Amino acid sequence: MPPKRKSQSNASTKQSHTKKRARPTRIAFGATKAEDEIQASAHGPAFRVPTVHGEVKHLSAYCLAVVGRNVRMMFEPDYKGGGLKETFANYFYVLPEHLRIKVWERLLDSGSGLLKEDLISQYFLSSYEIVLRGDLLPVLSNLKSLRSLTFSTSNEHVRRLVLSYLPQVSDTSIADLLRKMPALEYISLRGSSRAEDVSVKAIERTHYKTLRTLILSETNVKLPSLANLLLKCTELQELKLAEIDKMVSLDFGSVSGSFSRVDDLFWLPVGQTDASFNRLLDTLYPTPESNSSISLTSASPIPLFRLTKLKLRGKLDRSINSFNLSRSTLHRLLSHLPSLSSLDISYCENAITSLPSQFLSNLTKLSLRLFTRWDGPSPLVDQLIQASPPLQTLILVNSNILVDGSLGALTGLLEKLVDSGDVGRGHSRREKQLSKVCLIGKMTTRGPIHQRRQRVSLDGEEDDRSDLILFLEKVGRKLNYLDLSGAILGLDDLQVFIPPGSTLTHLVLAACELPDRVGDCLLGCSDLRVLNIAHSRVEPFSADAVHSPRCLPEINADRLYILSRDKSERTASDLSVMERE
């Protein structure tokens, strides 16, 4: 019947419309994965997810490309966009500083067409930290001038300026920019080879009251100009000078590779010979015997810009005998550093056989890397530790520093520093002096059997515990920061941390060989916040021990190699950050 036929037609029409509405549309961003196709075939409509061939960029790359293209159009000569430039500057102004710098670097990295002076000027107007590094963004190495920045009058708020590895920017252009930023506290011109005396004179005249950190490495600054700057900038505390005036940088990185993390970052220019170093001292502090062309305005000696950190590090390769600093020259330098608190005199064993104790009265950090075999504390180390009552950080690097027979005497010295604090009124726990110790050696902690020392305990019985165990008991447990990178630690060594009461907050066991129960052994470290086991091997692997959130609140394991029972190597780089319960 016709009505019936009409009803069937309507039902079929509704059903077809329902099917059309239910059919989802799938948009694939980026390359597809195998599980995408499986899920689509099982739960989705009966069609195949299109496979994208070739290299597919991340979605953020496309977004940056679009933003970069629009920004590039804003600064074209024939662009008529009204106040879009001001909107772009306001966009940078409302962003947090770390995001602002990241967006800026991403935009520059997206194409050389964005390297416009007007664009850089807009960025400069809304930031207290200006970072232009040609080593990170090669496109900046083509920058030839900063003229648009020098005409701006809104740079009084800038505190930090980094113009690194800009070889085509002239000395005059850098000097003009420095004069427009009178409030700078941090200046880095590293690698800008055309920075010479004009830039130094601008720093001397404009920032002598505010400047605290200056980096002039790999520039062409002359020694007389540098001497005048040091004498004028009395607030300068941190200085980096390398490869200046034919001086070779002696910073060859950490001796133990990527797992040795030290923070002695500042050094004075050190020449290849003792004479070149004395030439700098003669310029700064001329004596009747020296033929210096610089005349001081005051006859009294001027403290060397209140330097707090000094790094005199020799070359890592001992066969290259380029560091020939004499003891008298070192004593002469230290006599002008009354505020010295951090000293790194690594690989300078010919010059540091003895140091006057009056130079070390304020020393809080000592870093030593030694070529010679470590057979216990040398007279120098003994003197440095005992002559530095406020010592808080000690870094010792040697191939056999953790070998039995050479760690016992050092344990006795450090134990006195750890327990030397007095309990004052209103303090419930002892105030410690020594809080950070780094003992970094090669991949060995056990010497030959004949080097082991037999100790006699209080009850007259022999104590065959290793020097490392005694060090961990008497010193390691009482520290806040302990670094034993490169050690082979057994279960008996780590069991020292099981009893409660340890004050450790940072434990670095990088590039070590560890037992599988390392997590269980650290249960007594209730204050532990950071555990660094990067580049380490755990044999055999115990997932429960390593993933215990009670003892591993935070893991720095960007490259953790785990050696299982069958000696097959697995990578556990996906260990997540554990939060303390």
pLDDT tens-place values along the chain, 581 residues long: 555 554 454 555 545 554 445 444 444 444 445 555 555 555 444 444 445 445 556 666 666 667 666 766 766 666 666 666 666 666 666 766 666 666 666 666 655 455 555 566 555 555 677 777 777 666 677 777 776 565 555 577 788 888 888 888 889 889 988 988 889 999 999 888 888 889 999 999 999 889 988 888 778 887 677 777 877 887 777 777 766 644 433 332 222 222 222 223 344 444 445 676 677 677 667 665 554 444 333 333 444 556 677 776 655 444 444 455 677 777 787 777 777 788 877 766 555 556 666 667 778 888 777 655 555 555 666 666 666 567 888 888 776 677 666 687 788 888 888 876 543 433 334 445 788 888 887 533 333 222 333 333 334 344 456 888 999 999 999 999 999 888 888 888 889 998 888 899 888 888 788 887 777 788 788 888 888 877 777 765 444 444 444 444 444 444 344 443 333 333 333 332 222 22
| DSSP code of residue 488 | B
CB atoms within 10 A of CB 173: 23
| DSSP code of residue 151 | T
Characterise 318 by phi-psi region: left (phi > 0), alpha (psi -120 to 50), beta (else). alpha
Distance in angstroms between the alpha carbons of the first and the last residue of the chain: 74
CB atoms within 10 A of CB 42: 7
Angle of CA points 183, 184, 187, to nearest 5°: 170
Q: Return the percent helix, strand and coil in the chain, to nearest 5.
A: 35, 10, 55
* 310 token code pair: 């000094």
d(CA 303, CA 133): 33
Q: Which distant-in-sequence residues (6+ apart) come within 8 Å of 429 by Cβ?
A: 423
Q: Are 555 and 533 in contact (CB under 8 A)?
A: yes
Q: Which distant-in-sequence residues (6+ apart) come within 8 Å of 103 by Cβ?
A: 92, 95
Q: Which of 145, 247, 136, 130 lies closest to 194, judged by CA?
A: 145
Angle of CA points 437, 438, 444, to nearest 5°: 130
d(CA 426, CA 428): 6
pLDDT at site 57: 62
pLDDT at site 336: 77
Q: Are 236 and 214 in contact (CB under 8 A)?
A: yes
Pairing of strands 455-456, 436-440: unpaired
**Got the DSSP string for 255-318?**
TTGGG-------B----SSHHHHHHHHHHHS--TTS--SPPPS-SSPPPSTT--EEE----S-T
Question: Position 177: which residue type?
Answer: L
Q: Are 219 and 189 in contact (CB under 8 A)?
A: yes
Residue in the structure block whose two tokens are 């004050």: 503
Backbone angles phi, psi at 506, to 5 degrees: -130, 125
Angle of CA points 333, 338, 343, to nearest 5°: 65
Distances (CA, A) of 455 to 331, 408, 466: 40, 11, 10
Q: Are 404 and 452 in contact (CB under 8 A)?
A: yes
Q: Are 207 and 186 in contact (CB under 8 A)?
A: no
* 106 token code pair: 């991403």
CB-side neighbour CA atoms (13 Å) of 505? 3
Q: Which of 566, 556, 565 lies closest to 536, judged by CA?
A: 556
Distances (CA, A) of 23 to 47, 51, 228, 361, 436: 11, 20, 78, 79, 64
Identify the three-state secondary structure at position 226. Answer: helix
Question: Could you tell me the residue ranges of all domains in the chain?
Answer: 58-123
Peptide bond before residue 224 is cis, with ω within 30 degrees of 0: no
* 217 token code pair: 């490495």
CB-side neighbour CA atoms (13 Å) of 30? 9
- Whole-prediction pTM value? 0.57
d(CA 361, CA 435): 18
